[in-house]
Structure 1
Amino acid sequence: MSFPLDGVSLDEPILDGPRLRPRNGGAPDSLVVLLHGYGADGRDLIDLGNAWADLLPGTAFISPHAPDPCGEAPVGRQWFPLSFRDPHELARGAEAAAPVLAAFLEVELAKYDLPPSRLALVGFSQGAMMALKIATTAAVAPAAVVAYSGLWVEAAGGVPRDLQLHTRPPILLVHGTEDEVIPAQALFASARGLAEAGVPVEWHLSQGLGHGIDDGGLAHGGAFLAEFLAPKSR
């Protein structure tokens, strides 16, 4: 992904988590990385791979555990500390966590001999923040991003006028109308900011849903991934 890796060593395993091999039994033709939310771990999202396996039979899925223990959930993990008391902490936290995640993505793509154009990122909540951060700052864009119940952190305090995006991958934002953790307004702020920055963005609101993923959001996410990860000759 060619993200700055200062201070990150590739000599040791960076991140790891549950994995699913392609349903068709062959070598992966694409990779979907699932990024969990604050206080969870990789086990929280790996079943999305099973839900989408028929749509993406040649895709490998991995759901890495975030690098740090979560202070608010002793058995969970976090991509960065989170309090929501400081409007700038999201941008600072995602910026600090991005190099480790980017290094992990580089290792995984090399393992399967896949280019970034065969990678999709799916995130939930804090994981969605990380997916959107990586997707718009890597030197080469992933194929697609699906962000559930999250936020583009650049939009948290108002998108800077001088913001320069490196890449503009297609993005799907999905949110519940009754989200009590990250209000649905975050979807509209993110969609507006991304669109103003020239990013192709779609969105879906799940009526009556809180902080989670329902069948409608799952179906929209799977169809979006299948559109951009359809098998291509390499």
Structure 2
Amino acid sequence: MTRKGNPHLATALRHDGPQPADAALAAVLVHGRGQDPDYMAEVAKRIGMADVRCVYPAAFGNSWYPGRFMDALEANEPWLSYALEAVDYALTTLSADGFDSRRTALIGFSQGACLIAEYLVRHPRSFGAVAVLTGGYLGPDGPVRRATGMLLGTPVLLSSSQVDEWVPPGRVRQTAALLQTMGAAVTLRIHDAPEHGVNDTEARAVRDLLDAVTSKTH
């Protein structure tokens, strides 16, 4: 059940790709701050996701929450809860189309990547694959977050730049360590690319991740 008045649910979900019966798997792609679903649709094209049923949540005002991702959690409420609910709603629509979480990938960039990481921490279960591209779990520096459940072998790619101005590599490493504690099969890549975006190497790595999932389902 969705929260009444959630502004992130005001826009209908965009769907791309084959019909559910013809799709190899499904994916929820979450954009960053100042972006919209078109950005992630272009990322999907670069990855090569023509065989994937893609769903794109849209943030109200092009931002999932108002503050920085390392602000106190309560400083980003109620928007953070609304945003997590939007991810959950996208997954629910895919479930209704016949895709359980093990046939579903989560892919996020920047603010969307932070949202995906936070969703995993709060709602752990087995997913087909997860790509956290320039992001980490939310909250301020301090004691490392504790595991709240198990990810049951979910393959997770975390990729970010050593010099990114928005996401410190230390938080990406902390996120990788936490998800590994939760039972994810984590691949961590810290690169030196200066641009804040999804580079070609990351796009290929995500396609490799999806190929590994589809090879298990055939």
- What's the % identity of the aligned pairs? 22
Q: 2:56 aligns with which of 55, 63, 69?
A: 63
The answer for the alignment partner of 2:88 in structure 1 is: 102
CA contact (8 A) 2:27 2:105 kept: yes
CA contact (8 A) 2:25 2:103 kept: yes
Q: Which amino acid aligns with 2:211?
A: A
The answer for the alignment partner of 2:28 in structure 1 is: 33
Residue 42 of structure 1, CA deviation: 0.6
**In the alignment, structure 1 residue 186 sits paired with structure 2 residue 171:** yes
- Which TM-score applies when normalising by structure 2? 0.81
Q: Which amino acid aligns with 1:98?
A: L
Residue 146 of structure 1, CA deviation: 0.2
**In the alignment, structure 1 residue 19 sits paired with structure 2 residue 15:** yes
CA–CA distance in structure 2, aligned partners of residues 200 and 231 of structure 1: 15
Q: Which amino acid aligns with 1:108?
A: L
The answer for the alignment partner of 1:47 in structure 2 is: 42
CA–CA distance in structure 2, aligned partners of residues 133 and 20 of structure 1: 25
SS in structure 2 of the partner of residue 153 of structure 1 = coil
1:158-197, Cα deviation, whole Å (9 max, x unpaired): 3344x42253422110001221111222221211222233
CA contact (8 A) 1:30 1:229 kept: yes
CA–CA distance in structure 2, aligned partners of residues 89 and 176 of structure 1: 27
State the number of aligned residues: 214
Residue 139 of structure 1, CA deviation: 6.2
Residue 91 of structure 1, CA deviation: 7.8
CA contact (8 A) 1:116 1:142 kept: yes
CA contact (8 A) 1:204 1:217 kept: no
Q: Which amino acid aligns with 2:113?
A: A
Q: Which amino acid aligns with 1:105?
A: L
Which structure 1 segments of 5+ residues have no match? 70-76
Residue 46 of structure 1, CA deviation: 0.5
CA–CA distance in structure 2, aligned partners of residues 150 and 114 of structure 1: 26
The answer for the alignment partner of 2:215 in structure 1 is: 230
Residue 150 of structure 1, CA deviation: 0.5
Mark the CA change 1:108 to 1:26 in structure 2 (over 3 Å): closer, same or farther: closer
**Higher percent of residues as helix:** 2
Moved more, 223-232 or 115-124: 223-232
Residue 19 of structure 1, CA deviation: 3.5
CA–CA distance in structure 2, aligned partners of residues 31 and 215 of structure 1: 22
CA–CA distance in structure 2, aligned partners of residues 65 and 229 of structure 1: 27
Give the alignment of 1:162-181 within 5 angstroms.
163-168=147-152, 169-181=154-166
The answer for the alignment partner of 2:3 in structure 1 is: 7
Which structure 2 segments of 5+ residues have no match? none
1:2-40, Cα deviation, whole Å (9 max, x unpaired): xxx46359xxx7653543213x99722311111001121
Q: 1:207 aligns with which of 174, 180, 192?
A: 192
Query: Cα RMSD over matched residues?
Result: 3.1
- Which TM-score applies when normalising by structure 1? 0.76
Q: Which amino acid aligns with 1:204?
A: R
